[in-house]
Chain A
Amino acid sequence: MEDEYGYSDMDYWIDAKDITNVVSSTHGIILLIHDYVTFEEFIDFLNRLPLAGRSTVVYVSLNKTYDYLKLYLKDIKPKMFIVDGVCAGLFSRTEDLEDASFIRPPLTLNNLFGVIEKYYKEKRPDYIFVDALSQLLNFSTESKDKDSFALFSNKLHNMLGTGLTKLVFVYGVDNYTQLNLPKMQVERMIRMDAHKSGD
């Protein structure tokens, strides 16, 4: 679908208020691209996820601390397990909590695969969110990171198999028009736009 900006590689373009249905009907890997929506809007999206089974969401955070996330997540409906990839390297915080683990930040896709695999096996969650893939990868036109992502996504697809867990990579962008996105390596790419006043 071609969006109003003339960018045609995106499989789907949708406003934030409709995004929940699209995510819930997709299995496998989802690339969720946004132009810095507010975290409140993101939480609103999480709250509307249709959940099944034990209804667990694993949230691997590479850019927000557990304490910061808890301020927003205290009233959230899904059962969240936070994997904090910040505090261990900054405050020496490593002691696990009932709803969180603190890890050294994954600095390569191989490291990140190890983290995802560990919590996938331990928690068997409905969703795994990784916020944000843009910490490790750059899908700008000049970057070769798309090739690295292809290998990474192969391993993830082998791990996920035909299971029901959805893996959602959050990716923040400044400019949609300079992206070279890995559309063949993910089940769905979704652009999440912030609500603008008057929508």
Chain B
Amino acid sequence: MASKIMIVDDNKDIVDTLKTIMEKEGHITCLAYNGEEFLKKVDEFKPDLVLLDVMMPGLTTEQIIEALNEKGYYNLKIILVTVVRFSEEEKKLLYSELNIKDYIAKPFDVPEIVRKVREHLQSK
């Protein structure tokens, strides 16, 4: 079944690649190139899952998550797709404090990203 996926990254090449992958999976996509644009579009698009970059111009990831919480999106499924490398403790913080569902390291492996998106869309 088609789900609604938001792709948020300041790198157009990455956005285009993820869009192609997600649409090939049968999903509907909405694109944003920074946190501000994402927050403007999220209410209208109402995504089932978000693929979110960490290092973008403008709002920090923490500010984006805070703004989402203020809008009531506590349970929005967010997967970080990022070049940033974290320690295991920091990954736990991402999951517990920022309510991130998963983490995919760039350069990403297409089967991995497809598998993780499927998993999280299927989970309650």
A and B interact physically: yes
Q: Contact residues of A with B, CB < 8 Å?
A: 36, 39, 62-65, 67-68, 70-71, 86-92, 104-105, 107, 132, 135, 174
Q: Which secondary structure dominates chain B's binding surface?
A: loop
- The count of residues in chain B whose C-beta lies closer than 8 Å to any C-beta of chain A is 19
Supply 19 further A-B pairs (C-beta < 8 A) apart from A68-B86, A68-B90: A36-B107, A39-B85, A62-B55, A63-B55, A63-B85, A64-B84, A64-B85, A71-B87, A86-B54, A86-B84, A87-B90, A90-B60, A90-B94, A90-B98, A91-B97, A104-B60, A107-B57, A132-B83, A135-B83
Count how many pairs of residues, one from A and one from B, have CB atoms less than 8 Å apart in the complex: 55
B89 touches A (CB below 8 Å): yes
Any chain A CB within 8 A of the CB of B93?
A: yes
Q: Give A86 to B61 CA distance when docked, in angstroms.
A: 10
Residues of A within 8 A of B36 (CB): none
- Residues of B near A105 (CB, < 8 A) are 55
A–B pairs, 12, beta carbons within 8 Å: A63-B55, A65-B84, A68-B90, A86-B54, A86-B84, A89-B55, A89-B60, A90-B54, A90-B61, A91-B93, A107-B57, A135-B55
The reply to whether B55 and A86 contact each other, CB–CB distance below 8 Å, is yes
Is A65 a contact partner of B86 (Cβ separation < 8 A)? yes
Q: Are the CB atoms of B57 and A68 closer together than 8 Å?
A: no
Q: Are A174 and B107 in contact (CB under 8 A)?
A: yes
Distance to closest chain A CB from B115 (angstroms): 21
- Cα separation A107 to B60 with both chains bound (whole Å): 11
Instruction: Write the residues of chain B forming the contact surface with A, with a CB cutoff of 8 angstroms.
Output: 54-55, 57, 60-63, 83-87, 89-90, 93-94, 97-98, 107
In the bound complex, CA of A199 to CA of B54 (Å):
36
In the complex, chain B residues whose CB is within 8 Å of the CB of A36 = 107
Whether B60 pairs with A63 at a CB distance below 8 angstroms is: no
Instruction: List residues of chain B with CB within 8 A of the CB of A63.
Output: 55, 83-85
A92 to B65 alpha-carbon distance, docked (Å): 13
> Which residue of B55, B85, B90, B107 contacts A91 across the interface (Cβ within 8 Å)?
B90
Taking CB atoms, residues of chain B closer than 8 Å to A64 are 84-85
A89 CA / B55 CA spacing, docked (Å) = 8
**Which residues of chain B have C-beta atoms less than 8 A from A62's C-beta?**
55
Cβ A65 vs Cβ B87 within 8 A? yes
Alpha-carbon gap, A104 to B97, bound state (A) = 19
Residues of A within 8 A of B90 (CB): 65, 67-68, 87, 91
Q: Measured between C-beta atoms, what is the minimum distance from A172 to chain B in Å?
A: 8
Select one of B60, B63, B83, B85 contacting A68, CB under 8 A. Answer: B85
